Every structure is written in C-alpha cells, then in structure tokens.
Structure 1
Amino acid sequence: MNIEKYRHAKKQDIHLPEYDTNQNDGKSEKELKEKTIPERVSKLKELHWKLFAEGKKGIVVVLQAMDAAGKDEAISYIFSNLNAQGLKTTSFQKPTDEELNHDYLWRIREGLPERGQIGILNRSYYEDVIAPRVHDLLDGETLPDETDKDLVWSMRYRQINDFERYMTENGFAVIKFFFNMSKEEQRKRLLERMKNPKKNWEFSFQDVEERKYWESYQDIFEDMLENTSTEYAPWYILPADSEWYSRYIITEVMIECLENLDPKFPEISQENQEKLDHYIEKLEKEGE
C-alpha cells in the first residue's frame, strides 16, 4: 500500500469533496477482514511489544471525525488487539466546568501516553477548534481580556502545532487520522443504529441534530487540516465510507511509524545473564 497518498504533512489547500470517501484498491472486504488486517495487526502487535519493553518512546494517535465515521470500530478491530499495558485510550466529550476553568489543552494531559505506550485520543484537543466554531460557543469560555476573538482560531492552530512539535521533540510521535465520510454514508449508519435493537445503545439523538451543521463542519475540517498538517505531525485523510480499507490504512501507518521508531527488546547485562543462567540451571535440576 502507498500510504503517502493519504498523508498530508504540509500546509496546502484541502477541499474534502475532492477526496474519495469510498476506496479499496481492489481488495474485497472479506480479504481485508479475514486475511490482510489480521496478518498486519499481528505485525503491529509484535512492534508494540518492543515499544513497551524498551520504554523509551511513545505514540499519540488522534482520531477525529463526524459521528458514526468509524473511530470506535477502528479501536475495537485494531488497537484492542495490542498489549493492554502499553495502550491508553481516552474519549473526549463536551468540556466540564472544571475543564473550562483551565486552559483548553489542560484536559488532554490525562490521555497522553507514558514512554512505551500508544495513547489513543478518541476525539481530542481538536474539538476546541471545531465545536466552538460550529455552535459559536466561544463566549462561554474565559479568555484573557486582550485576546482578539477574531484571531482565536489561528492562535489555537499555532498553539496546537507547537504542542505537537513539543511532543515529538520529547520522544512521542504524533499521528492523526481524519475519517472523511460522506453525508449519505452517515445517514445509512445512523439508520442502522436506530433500527437495530443491538445497536440502539450506540445512537444519540444529538447525532441526527448535528447533521444540520454538516456543511459548517466540512468547512471547519478543511481549515483545520490545512493549518495543522505538518511534517512532524501529519494528518491521514481516510476514505471512511470504506470501513475495512480505512482500518487497513491505519494499521499500515502505525506499522510504518513503529518501524521508524525502531524499538528493540532490552539486552540483558553480562552480570544478569550469568545470574539468569544460574537460575535456569537450578530450575532445570528441580525437574530431574
């Protein structure tokens, strides 16, 4: 797979209607589900164990999308197969009163990984440059008196870029996935959730209400992608109508990232190797 065609690592004009939301490069869902993805997840799991064992670097994974685009399913089918000790998953909703009493990046700290971990942010700090713009909620936040509200979003883009640079320079790779889903596909998925008793729990009436703001969301997504795509923290735009192919892309991106980090199992010291050999011999004799 050529993952570069999904990668955006520099500021450029982005028009989401130009991006195909339905793509599979000739791979059938059955092939992806039963063969390709399980094999590649096995490779990802092996690399993740090395990352955890080495304990020197970490990865921040941002999942950003409209409702029903496939974020939760990506977590279930890919990341849930990894070593639980080396995985941290955090979901972000509307800010609480306590969170609003801090700077907007404050609440993200609890979701950041330790060295040796992959931290999954199911939605993220990017919510603070999306929802407040769509619903004009900035007046509900406390900003310094000298802040020009017309410049808040460009300021936050700069701060987010700086934050992501800070993370990468401190040993934490930042990978961001945007699930580019069509409005028609979302309609079908929401209907499935509403009609299927086993999926009713996934449905929220707010999901349908938010569809009224679809165009506003798309405009803001484009602005966000244009202003926060960087070499050190690229965005990957996924063809989210194709759920299994999107999961395949995510898996390949994660493998590439880990291979670039090149984690290794720690080597035992000579002193400990001699001690280990002694205890191996001792336990083997017990079995004789």
Structure 2
Amino acid sequence: MNVNDYKASGEIYLRNIPTKEFKSEAKKELKKLRKEISELQDTMYAEGKYSVLICLQGMDTAGKDSLIREVFKDVNARGVVVHSFKVPTELELKHDFLWRHYIALPARGKIGVFNRTHYENVLVTRVHPEYILSENIPSITSVEDIDDRFYHDRMNRINQFEKHLEESGTIVLKFFLHLSKDEQRNRLLRRLNIPEKNWKFSTSDLKERKLWDKYQVCYEDLLSRTSTDYAPWFIIPADDKPSARYLVAMVLLEEMKKYNFKEPRLSQKVLDQIDDFKKQLNNE
C-alpha cells in the first residue's frame, strides 16, 4: 500500500474520491499493525523527543470512536491520550478558538488523538455561522460580518499552529473518514433498529444530515487549504469500517517509521558498572 495514494493534495473534490475500499484481510492485518505501533510508541516514549497528534474528522457515524478503540487497543495506556471535543464550555469561549486544543496536546513520547478537532472551528461554525457570535470577537457583531475571508484567515492560523507543532517535535497526522450518504443512512437506521444502539441516536443527526451537501463543500475547502507537507490530510474511505481502521493504522505506522526513534543509551559510567549492579542484586 502506498500511503501517498490517500494523501490530500491540490484542489479536493470529494465526489471524485471513493468512499469504499475493501481489504479482505483487514482485521487480521490490523492485529499485526497494532503490535508494531505499540512497540514504536514505547521507543518514542523512551527517546522523549517526539509526540504524535492524530486528528480525526468525519460526518456523523463515520466510525471515529470504534476506530480509536481498535487501532490503539494494544498501545500502553500511558502512551495514548484521547480528547473528544464537544461544544465549547463557558471557560473555553473566553479564550481564542485554538486554546482548548493547545492545552490538550500530547506530551513528548505520547500519542494524542483528537476525536473531532480544531477544524470544527472552520467546519461546523461555517455551516452554522451563528455559533461564532458566542465567541464575543470584537470585530464580529452579527452573522453578516462572517464571510469566507474570516474562515480562510482561521485556516491560515491553523496552518501556522500546526507548523509550530511540527517544529516543536509533534508529528501531525490528520484523517478525514470519507463516508457516503447512503452508508450514513444505513448506520443511522441500525442505531434505531437495534435497541442496544438506540442511545447513540440523536435527533440532531437527522438535522445535520439535511445539510450534507454544505458540509461536503466546507470539507473540500478545508482539505484543499490545510493539507501541508508538515501536517498532511489523509482521505480514508470509511464505508467499510475494518478496512478504514487498517488504512489509518498503516498510514500511522509508515509515518512514524520515518522518524527512526531510538531508545536512549545508558551513560558509559553506568554501562561500566552493570556487572557490579548484577552482583548486588544476585547477592541479596
């Protein structure tokens, strides 16, 4: 698999990109990838120079939660931290739009997963511009003040934010789970048809579904403007969940390998005394 086949570049037109790719051995292969990712994270933790930030975006029911569960199942619990960003709190609204994401960034040695991300600030708010008013931005007094230039300026600031992260040692990988409208319908019906899944359903899912086309246009714009060499977007066909999980794990593994993490060596002074340390322990 060539990970570059999934990397977003140039002008993005989602209607021309497949939403389904079937990998027959996806579940089996994912188990192998999980083990390798876990080993790489252990080495990255020991080295202490890099962190990984994984950004997951997608329409409702795209499979973000289950993907996180399955891809990171074997990673040491200390090594992966997941943040699910909801509607901003009163405190968060008193800061700039990137603040709550900045304070949730992974420490060196760890993998951080943003389930929904700072891109909600140029996606959901673009579909519902009235949300911006709650931020109390001095230059914004009404919805009429919010135009494409406003969102493009935010995208530029996001690019600068991610460049700063990359230069500080954070490997930024962004995944758009590309779901078809038909498959979303099937998954929503499943939530309604299976009593144990009812709790996942929200009436807002249907309201947002009616805005599908608008969301697609907004996604195309942000994917086109914010996929960079230092923080690339990968467009993952999401209609088949096992295959989508496999693809995300494969991309993550291949990108992490590029950094050639190495465990730190003990100082020569300690190495010279290893035999003495062994004797002390054996003679207890």
| Residue 263 (structure 2) aligns with | 265
The residue that corresponds to 1:145 in the other structure is 139
Match of 2:98 in 1: 105
Name the residue aligned to 2:4: 4
More divergent stretch after superposition (143-152 vs 207-216): 143-152
Q: Which residue of 1 aligns with 2:158?
A: 160
The 8 Å contact of residues 69 and 181 in structure 1, kept in 2 or not, is answered as yes
Counting only pairs closer than 5 Å after superposition, residues 201-216 of structure 1 correspond to structure 2 as: 201-216=199-214
After superposition, the C-alpha distances for 1:64-92 in whole angstroms (9 at most, x for unaligned) are 01111011111000123211112111000
Report the Cα offset of residue 146 of structure 1.
7.9
Selected match of 2:29 from 36, 39, 42: 36
SS in 2 for 1:114: coil
The aligned counterpart of 1:85 is: 78
Secondary structure class of the residue paired with 1:67: coil
Determine the C-alpha separation between the residues in 1 that align with 2:235 and 2:275.
Answer: 51
Q: Distance in 1 between matches of 2:67 and 2:279?
A: 46
Inter-partner Cα distance in structure 2 for 1:213 and 1:47: 41
Q: Residue by residue, what CA displacement relative to the aligned partner does 1:167-223 show, whole Å, maximum 9, x if unpaired?
A: 001111110000010011011111112222222232222222211111111110001
Quick one: distance in 2 between partners of 1:59 and 1:99? 24
Equivalent of 1:132, from 125, 128, 148? 125
Letter in 1 for 2:44: L
What letter corresponds to residue 236 of structure 1 in structure 2?
F
Distance 2:157 2:170 in 1: 17
TM-score by length of 2: 0.94
Q: How many residues align?
A: 279
Shift in Å, 1:229: 0.9
Distance 2:41 2:178 in 1: 27
SS at match of 2:225: helix
In the alignment, the residues of structure 2 paired with residue 146 and residue 244 of structure 1 have an alpha-carbon distance, to the nearest angstrom, of 44
Q: CA offset at residue 144 of structure 1?
A: 3.0
Partner of 1:217: 215
Letter in structure 1 aligned against 2:208: E
TM-score (structure 1 length as normaliser): 0.92
User: Which piece of structure 1 moves more, 145-154 or 196-205?
Assistant: 145-154
Q: Which amino acid aligns with 2:165?
A: M
Letter in 1 for 2:181: K
Aligned to 2:207, the other structure's residue is in SS state helix
Residue 121 (structure 1) aligns with: 114
2:174 is the counterpart of 1:176: yes
Residues 40 and 251 in structure 1, CA contact (< 8 A), matched pair in contact too: yes
Report if aligned partners of 1:89, 1:111 keep a CA contact under 8 Å in 2: no
Q: Which runs of 5+ in 2 are unaligned?
A: none
Contact 2:34 / 2:73 at 8 angstroms: preserved in 1?
no
Q: Letter of the aligned partner of 2:154 in structure 1?
A: R
Query: For each residue in 1:28-58, what CA deviation from the matched residue of structure 2 results, as whole angstroms up to 9, or x when unmatched?
Result: 1xx221x211011111111111011111111
Taking only the aligned residue pairs, the percentage that are identical comes to 42
One-letter amino acid of the structure 1 residue matched with residue 32 of structure 2: E
Query: Which residue number in structure 1 is paired with residue 189 of structure 2?
Result: 191
Q: For 1:85, give the aligned amino acid.
A: R
